[in-house]
Each structure stands twice: as structure tokens, then as C-alpha cells.
């Protein structure tokens, strides 16, 4: 049953997922080319100075990319569910309604996790080619909140699509945008070093937001 549900989810996001994976890969190539360009043009020691001492973040393309990916995957996974109220059929599967919703979100989260982990791994290898471990570590900590924002945007998108009332949707979107904004500061390296744990816990609170809107969906709440 769960396997079939996962397959259905995969069919929906398949194209978007590969597109986003390709986009990420292109961004990686772009940053890689930039790195090799600056090492040549500025000379290695000067480029290192820019990055290490001046705090030049050469990977700012990653600030909003995870959020975009979360949004696109959320859209493609949940948009079909609300057109012609298909979600009603899904919820009639012989499973608990909450369980169905959680499996759906869980599947998307898992797929995002795979994509993001792959990105982290490839990017770490690339950075480690040009810089010592100290820089790689700084990159890891600096990027963590941005990728966390990717998950938050995905969870919020899922919850917003299941909600039927536009006013409520807007309320959730406004709160989510303001929340996500607190994860996307990028004026220096490692600025979330001491707070990323708390942000992680707070971000997790969004993950079951779909149950609240799902409840309202089932009830047919009109305001």
C-alpha cells in the first residue's frame, strides 16, 4: 500500500525532480567554473585572501536554490491533488487519513533529503579540491540554514495546497515567508554556528502543518 502510494507520488514529481537535480548540477558547474576562473585570474593566494580573510562567499547561488526546489517539488506533488478535489479520493484509500498525508509529505521530504545530501557531497568535494578542510567546514555550517529553508518551504507548500480557504492560505504563507527569511542571512560565514540547532527544531514544527490544513479539508471548513 505504502509502496503504491510512494509510486503515485513519484509519478507526480518525477519531471520536476529531475529538472531540479539538473538545475542544481548546473549551479554546481557554474560555481566550479567560477572557482577555477578566480584561481587563475586573481592568483590563488589573492583569491584565498578574498574568501578566507575578507569572507567572500563564493557559493551565494545556494542561498535561495533549496527554497526554490522545495517550492517546485511541493507544487508538483500537491497541485494535482487539489484540482478537481482528487485529494478526497486519496484520503479514501484504506489507510488512516493522517497517515496518508504524513506518508505523502514524508516521501517528498525523503526525496529532498537525497537531492540536498547529494548536492552537499558534490559541493564538498569541489571545495576540498581548491581549499583546505577549514573552508569546507565553514561552507557546511554556512549552507545548512539555507537547505533547512528548502525543507520548510516544501512543508509549507504542502500545507497551503491542502488548505481550501484563501485567507488562511495567505496567513500561512505570510508567516512562512517571514520565518524562512530568518534562515537566509548570508552576510558572513558560519553566522548560524550557535543557533542552527534551535532553528532546526523550530523548522521541524512546520513538517506536520499539513495535518492541520488536512483536518480543515476533511471537515470542509469554509472560513
Q: Does 50 bind other proteins (CB under 8 A)?
A: no
Which part of the chain contacts other proteins (CB under 8 A), choosing from 41-49, 76-84, 87-95, 113-121? 41-49
> How many positions of this chain bind other proteins (CB under 8 A)?
46
Q: Which of residues 52-111 bind other proteins (CB under 8 A)?
A: 52-53, 55, 98
d(CA 13, CA 6): 11
CA distance 126 to 2: 37
We find the least distance from the C-beta atom of residue 194 to other proteins, in angstroms, to be: 6
Closest Cα partner for 145 from 103, 212, 220, 201?
Answer: 201
Answer yes or no whether residue 134 interacts with other proteins by CB under 8 A: yes
Q: Which three cell numbers stand for residue 189?
A: 560565514
Would you say 3 and 94 are in contact if contact means Cβ atoms under 8 Å apart?
no
| Residue selected from 57, 135, 165, 173 as contacting other proteins according to rule CB under 8 A | 135
Distances (CA, A) of 42 to 39, 69, 126, 129, 136: 6, 33, 19, 17, 21
Nearest to other proteins of 114, 125 (CB atom): 125
Residue 153 binds to other proteins (criterion: CB under 8 A): no
User: Would you say 6 or 212 has its CB closer to other proteins?
Assistant: 212
Amino acid at each position: 500500500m505504502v509502496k503504491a502510494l510512494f509510486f503515485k507520488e513519484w509519478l507526480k514529481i518525477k519531471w520536476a525532480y529531475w529538472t531540479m537535480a539538473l538545475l542544481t548540477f548546473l549551479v554546481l558547474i557554474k560555481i566550479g567554473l567560477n572557482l577555477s576562473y578566480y584561481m587563475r585570474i586573481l592568483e590563488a593566494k589573492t583569491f584565498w585572501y578574498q574568501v578566507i580573510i575578507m569572507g567572500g562567499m563564493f557559493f551565494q547561488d545556494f542561498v535561495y536554490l533549496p527554497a526554490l526546489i522545495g517550492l517546485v517539488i511541493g507544487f508538483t506533488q500537491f497541485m494535482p491533488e487539489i484540482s478537481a478535489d482528487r485529494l478526497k479520493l486519496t484520503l479514501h484509500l484504506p489507510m488512516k487519513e493522517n497517515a496518508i498525508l504524513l506518508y505523502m509529505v514524508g516521501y517528498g521530504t525523503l526525496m529532498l533529503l537525497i537531492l540536498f545530501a547529494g548536492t552537499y557531497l558534490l559541493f564538498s568535494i569541489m571545495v576540498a579540491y581548491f581549499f583546505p578542510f577549514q573552508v569546507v567546514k565553514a561552507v557546511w555550517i554556512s549552507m545548512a540554514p539555507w537547505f533547512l529553508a528548502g525543507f520548510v518551504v516544501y512543508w509549507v507548500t504542502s500545507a497551503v495546497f491542502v488548505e481550501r480557504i484563501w485567507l488562511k492560505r495567505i496567513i500561512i504563507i505570510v508567516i512562512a515567508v517571514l520565518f524562512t527569511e530568518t534562515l537566509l542571512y548570508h552576510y558572513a560565514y558560519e553566522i548560524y554556528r550557535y543557533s542552527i540547532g534551535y532553528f532546526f527544531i523550530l523548522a521541524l514544527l512546520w513538517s506536520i502543518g499539513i495535518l492541520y490544513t488536512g483536518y480543515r479539508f476533511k471537515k470542509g471548513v469554509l472560513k
